[in-house]
Structure 1
Amino acid sequence: MNIRDFARQFQFQPLAAELHPQHLPASVASQVQGQELIVFAVADEASDTEQFSARYGLGLEDCANTIVLRYKKDGVEQHAAVVTLGSRRLDVNGAVKSALGAQRLSFAKREVATALTGMEFGGITALGLPASMRILVDAAVMARRYVVVGAGVRHSKLLLSPALLAQLAQAEVAALTFDSD
């Protein structure tokens, strides 16, 4: 099944490429240009992962969240983004801490995450992040054919192949989660 057929199955209404700048932050719009993905609008009340999944019938295993973390490595505070499926639990103090080589690790405060990324909280995506920010993509994300991710704003989402995430210059793929059951 190609990406357009997948989108039709869940009734995602693709936005024309010329409308992307109106529905995406500039950093995201420039990075999605020319990529095989679908940008579509969602209602704000359906933007959060669980509400999105319930409204559109797409399983949590096909919804990926981008979470901004703050960590300390070699005495220096840094930030990284982690992309994980909505159906899995992030092993923050084990696998993530190890992958980052972090001495200390915590979730970034909302205002810090939005200031660093230039994106809306609840819509942060790995695409369009600052080049200096490491991006960890959970291996379970890579096992999916397509995933829905944030688009930098709450009123839009991106449907894409996980391979696009792995191709980001600062991306690293690692096993970072376990089943949430």
Structure 2
Amino acid sequence: MTLQWVPAAERTDLLADPVARAVRDVEGAEVAEIDPDLADTAAFCEKYGVTLDESANCVVVAAKRGGETRYAACMVLATMRVDVNGVVRRHLDARKASFAPMAEAVELTGMEYGGITPLGLPEEWPILVDTHVAEHARVVIGSGVRRSKLAVSGAALAGLKRAEVLSLAG
């Protein structure tokens, strides 16, 4: 199955509301409609012929310190794992860090699970972009909903407001 990429600003109906507002500021962002049952990375890549190292996942992390919980988004290639308890926890100066529970991530982002993306996240959230993602000419990421995917450059992700580039794999 082939993906039909179009400029994302022309098909905001394929994006979650917060993503549709944010995508206008991302140069070259494209969107493609997909089968929502194939939104999970492995199934998507297999069906649509996208390699895992061309696909990036957005992981929402809850960092806790002194009774306060702060959230961050981590962007890593689908071939990598985020070092939440090491690199991310230390970077966020937290005593404890973990993946945010699904219901919490969905509620806080206004996006569907399996489609969460760094575009349109709450203003106060840092966006931690792995160096491998930032160096990519083009990565496929979530669109805020399960029925589409976005394609953007790693440089565009690294250039997002509140984005920080670092090695997240530990």
Normalising TM by the smaller chain, what interval? Answer: over 0.9
Q: How does 1:14-93 map to 2 (within 5 A)?
A: 14-15=5-6, 19-33=10-24, 35-93=27-85
SS at structure 2 position matched to 1:106: strand
Give CA deviations for 1:94-150 in whole Å, capped at 9, x if unaligned.
Answer: 111122111101111111001110000000000011111111111111122210000
Counterpart Cα distance in 1 of 2:168 and 2:70: 19
When the two structures are superposed, what TM-score results if normalisation uses the length of structure 1? 0.87
Counterpart Cα distance in 1 of 2:92 and 2:124: 14
C-alpha change, 1:172 and 1:18, in structure 2 (3 Å) is closer
Residue 93 of structure 2 aligns with which residue? 101
Residue 3 of structure 2 aligns with which residue? 12
Residue 6 of structure 1 aligns with which residue? none
The partner residue of 2:111 within 108, 119, 128 is 119
Matched-pair contact (CA < 8 Å) for 1:99–1:174: no
Counterpart Cα distance in 2 of 1:24 and 1:177: 29
Give the deviation of 1:17 after TM superposition.
5.1
Give CA deviations for 1:18-63 in whole Å, capped at 9, x if unaligned.
Answer: 6523111221112112621211101012211001111122111111
Structure 1, unpaired ranges of 5+: 1-9
Equivalences, count: 169
C-alpha change, 1:169 and 1:74, in structure 2 (3 Å) is farther
C-alpha change, 1:17 and 1:93, in structure 2 (3 Å) is closer
Matched, 1:152 2:144: yes
